[in-house]
Each structure stands twice: as structure tokens, then as C-alpha cells.
Amino acid sequence: KTITTGAPKTHIADSLIRTTLTGWITAGTVPPWDANTLYFIYMDKGVKVTMGGSSSCTSFCGYHDAMSGKKYYAVMPFPSCAGCLGGLSVQDALTGTSSHELCEAITDPVPPTGWYDNANGEIGDICAWKFKTIAGYNVQLEWSNKAKSCI
């Protein structure tokens, strides 16, 4: 579902994203939450996202987290910097980062209480910038303990 009402124009903090998402859930603007729901929030071009002391295109290209330890969400800033594009098209950067956050939200839904390696981070972090094209979409490879490699 595309929601444009009240969309930020230049900047939004994670705390406001959480408040807004809670309001959308309560109002029925987005599907109701259940244990298998992951809300993806994509930002418009030119909107800087901040979380703690970090900001998009400087410290991160996307992230996932949980509200109240169980309402899962992922935030996808528009990839408008070289660090988040990595030489990819905007579409490939978005699908690559989205697949990265989706897999991490599954294996570590409340960071860092799930699959997390203190030296390397989550399963997507270990394989950052390693991609494969599946059905025409760019997706990031993810770490496999069994294969001991990115697959």
C-alpha cells in the first residue's frame, strides 16, 4: 500500500517512523499486525532518515527493528548516494537492500537477540554487496552456517 499523506519532505527520525506506524496500525491504514508481519517503509528521494546518532547514506542504507519487541518493521531510505548505490541502479540497490533487511528481520527480528555474530553482525552484513539476480531482481546473498559461505 502506498501512503503519501503526511510523507516527510526532507528528514524523519526513527522515533517518528515508529509513532506513525503505530498510528497506521491502530487506524487500520495498514494491515493489522500479527506475529508474521513485517512492515516495510520506503522513503521518497531526498528524505534523510536518522536513528540514534546515525543517518541514512552516511551510516546505513536500510535497517530493521521491532517496536515493543514484537511489531517488526524495516526502513528503506531512497538510495541516493554512492555508498548505498554501490554502482547499482536505484532499482537494484532497493531490491538488494530490501532482501538484505528481509532476511535479517527473519533471523534476527529484535536486533541483536537472534542470529548475530559479534565480529560480523547479522547474516546479511557478512555478505554485504554480494548479489545474485533471481527472476530479474537483484537480491543479496546471505550467510549460511551449513555451507560456511554466502549463498
Cβ 12 vs Cβ 46: under 8 Å: no
Planar angle of CA 27, 31, 61, nearest 5 degrees: 100
- pLDDT of amino acid 6: 87
User: Which residue reads 559461505 in cell numbers?
Assistant: 149
- pLDDT of amino acid 135: 97
The C-alpha atoms of residue 148 and residue 151 are separated, in whole angstroms, by 9
pLDDT digits (tens, 9 = 90+) for 28-71: 999 999 999 999 999 999 999 999 999 999 999 999 999 987 89
Q: What is the pTM of this model?
A: 0.94
10 Å Cβ neighbour count for 95?
Answer: 20
Cβ 116 vs Cβ 108: under 8 Å: yes
Cβ 119 vs Cβ 133: under 8 Å: no
Cβ 45 vs Cβ 8: under 8 Å: no
The C-alpha atoms of residue 74 and residue 143 are separated, in whole angstroms, by 20
Planar angle of CA 24, 106, 42, nearest 5 degrees: 40
End-to-end CA distance of the chain: 31
pLDDT digits (tens, 9 = 90+) for 74-131: 999 999 999 999 999 999 999 999 999 999 999 999 999 999 999 999 999 999 999 9
* DSSP state at residue 139: E
- pLDDT of amino acid 68: 86
